[in-house]
Structure 1
Amino acid sequence: MKKQFLTLALITMGTLLFAETGYDIMKKADEVPEPKTSSSTATLTIHSKKGSDRIREVIMKSKDYGEVEKSIIVFTTPKDVAGTGYLMFDYEDDNKDSDNWLYLPAMKKTRRIASSGSESEGSFMGTDFTYQDMGDRSLNKYDYNLLGEEDVDGTICYKVECISKAHTEKDPRYISYIGKSDYILRKCEFYDRQNQLHRVLTCTDFTTIKGFTTAQKMKMENVQSGTWSLIESKNIVYDAEDIDDSLFTVAALEKGRIR
């Protein structure tokens, strides 16, 4: 009998030793392989609390250089926002903040967007997404707790609580739902400083392109204001073209080279 208890104890201890932590899961999610180049178009729908919709069309391109991933988003329609562009440099080094630039053709001016602080938490082009949402979040800036598992649209997901170490963000805590089988983000809940649910991101309409699992729809809902924004990606192309390095520059934004 004592041997049986000892065996059970060893099995339990082994399970605990090899169980994934919240940090382990988020790190694996961050390390999911991505294509070297990506090109797509997208429809952006901005839904107001009065029920009206504004529709935007954008071009998105990205290229992975190893130590840095460069991405660009350019609005093509309607006319009042056409030519507006956002350039992002996300670095492999978690201790290095991203570089971000916003070009506004109406003002013929490029503005640097801080990667942290109140500016990064501002609305991205009038949507429910923030500038911070458009890039990667540094793993080192958060503490993690594995809360358990939950089904999200038929996919069993790890439920990981992520708490900002700075505690100064508008949404200092969020809960990520990471697919248990593929470590792909399915949903994310953002909580404000009063610990009230603020926004909910849902990723749907998944497809596999050249072996890469891709969410074709990403919806951010502000549950406090009743607004939401939806990005519907299409014409997605991975690793099929060598995107010109010169496109990922402020000069390319200002000259309207991205088509």
Structure 2
Amino acid sequence: MKTACSFVLAALFLVAATVSRAQDALEIMTKVDDVTNHSYSSSVRQMKFSTCRYNVSGGKLSCVEKPRVVIFDSFSKTRRPPGRRDLDFKALDVIIQPVSDKNTAMLSWGYAEDDKASDFWVYLPVLSKVKRIVSVADSGESGAVFGSEVSAEDADVRKVKDYTYTLLGEDTYRDRSVWKIELTPTDSRRKRSFYGRIVAYVDKERFIVLKEDLYDRSGRHYKQFSAQDVEQIGDVWMVIRASMNNLTKRRITVWEHPDIVLNVDIDEEFLSQRSLTDFAFRERHMQTYRQYLVQGKDRALQVAAKP
């Protein structure tokens, strides 16, 4: 009888501990969502993607070809619908270099509505044509952003409710104390995701993700995201330099955005399909919003110059 009671008590303790760890993981990832998606309402930034095939020798990764460098302007805006935690999201990215790809643009719309997939469109100036990107769960090749190893799914805004969470433990990454948390897509999310699970390394102090191991639905370690530089922009902690490493293809994209300004006024009509094809309309607005970056640099120089 005592043995049976002990077994029941041990089982109840294990269940309680599992529930507690899941709840702790959910609370941590909710705070990550607050920092990543809810701490500012709009942004203007200049981005740089550098992509190459690589080899590894002596534990060091090196490109085996000249990296393909793409520089683009990025504009985004979020809005929280009444009664919802999740955000509606709109973004427009426009290539400015190389010249051969100049004016290629990608429009992204994300939705707070449950189970509604995000929309992505790309304008190809060579064809004078708008193409819709579909992020297909069965293909890791679908939806690559500007030929990089960042997919449309990687660039999408994650919703907390689209995953279940397990706290795997604690660790150290780049001299920072982190939690290791496993993200498993819900049934509805799994239908639209290439990934079967994700292991995130979350900075304990700043609640930002410093590394992710991304596994495909067969369990293969497919990609790895690594944050390299983190800065505080105003009151917001942000990753400003990182890499996405495709471990199966041995291709890596290093991305950075050294120029960024937050919480500026962006006309929502600018973040519409009109900006994909109406060049004059798009350029007029882009010139205005680029001034925010110039003004931001001027303010930073003024602060730096103070004794």
2:212–2:225 Cα contact (<8 Å) kept: yes
> Is structure 2 residue 120 aligned with structure 1 residue 100?
yes
What does 1:45-64 align with in structure 2 at a 5 Å threshold? 45-49=50-54, 50-64=64-78
For residues 119 and 100 of structure 1, do their structure 2 counterparts lie closer, same or farther at Cα, with a shift above 3 Å needed?
farther
1:113–1:120 Cα contact (<8 Å) kept: no
> Is structure 2 residue 266 aligned with structure 1 residue 246?
no
Compare 215-224 and 107-116 and name the one that shifted more. 107-116
> Is structure 2 residue 178 aligned with structure 1 residue 164?
no
Segments of 5+ residues of structure 1 without an aligned counterpart are: 1-11
Compare 58-67 and 18-27 and name the one that shifted more. 18-27
Distance in 2, matches of 1:94 and 1:210, equals 32
**1:98 CA displacement:** 1.8
For residues 115 and 47 of structure 1, do their structure 2 counterparts lie closer, same or farther at Cα, with a shift above 3 Å needed?
closer
| Aligned counterpart, 1:65 | 79
Q: Which amino acid aligns with 2:104?
A: T
Q: What TM-score comes out, normalization by structure 1 length?
A: 0.85
| Aligned counterpart, 1:110 | 130
Q: Which amino acid aligns with 1:59?
A: D
What does 1:11-160 align with in structure 2 at a 5 Å threshold? 20-32=23-35, 33-49=38-54, 50-67=64-81, 68-114=88-134, 117-118=137-138, 122=142, 123-160=144-181
Task: Give the share of equivalent positions with the same residue, in percent.
Answer: 24
Q: What do you get for the CA RMSD once the two structures are aligned? A: 2.4
Deviations 1:222-255 (A, max 9, x none): 122221001110221112x312222101111212
Distance in 1, matches of 2:227 and 2:128, equals 34
Larger radius of gyration: 2
Compare 42-51 and 20-29 and name the one that shifted more. 20-29
2:108–2:119 Cα contact (<8 Å) kept: yes
Q: What TM-score comes out, normalization by structure 2 length?
A: 0.73
Distance in 2, matches of 1:249 and 1:170, equals 27
Compare 92-101 and 32-41 and name the one that shifted more. 92-101
Segments of 5+ residues of structure 2 without an aligned counterpart are: 1-12, 55-63, 82-87, 287-307
1:146–1:160 Cα contact (<8 Å) kept: yes
Q: Which amino acid aligns with 1:104?
A: L
Counterpart of 2:26 in 1: which secondary structure? Answer: helix
1:74–1:86 Cα contact (<8 Å) kept: yes
Report the structure, 1 or 2, having the larger helix content.
Answer: 2
Distance in 1, matches of 2:165 and 2:209, equals 15
Deviations 1:121-154 (A, max 9, x none): 6222221111111111233333321101111112
For residues 103 and 213 of structure 1, do their structure 2 counterparts lie closer, same or farther at Cα, with a shift above 3 Å needed?
same
1:198 corresponds, among 222, 225, 231, to 222
Q: Which amino acid aligns with 2:130?
A: T
1:189 corresponds, among 191, 209, 213, to 213
For residues 101 and 120 of structure 1, do their structure 2 counterparts lie closer, same or farther at Cα, with a shift above 3 Å needed?
farther
Q: Which amino acid aligns with 2:274?
A: A
**1:60 CA displacement:** 0.6
- Paired residues in the alignment total 246
For residues 94 and 31 of structure 1, do their structure 2 counterparts lie closer, same or farther at Cα, with a shift above 3 Å needed?
farther
| Aligned counterpart, 1:4 | none
Q: Which amino acid aligns with 2:267?
A: D
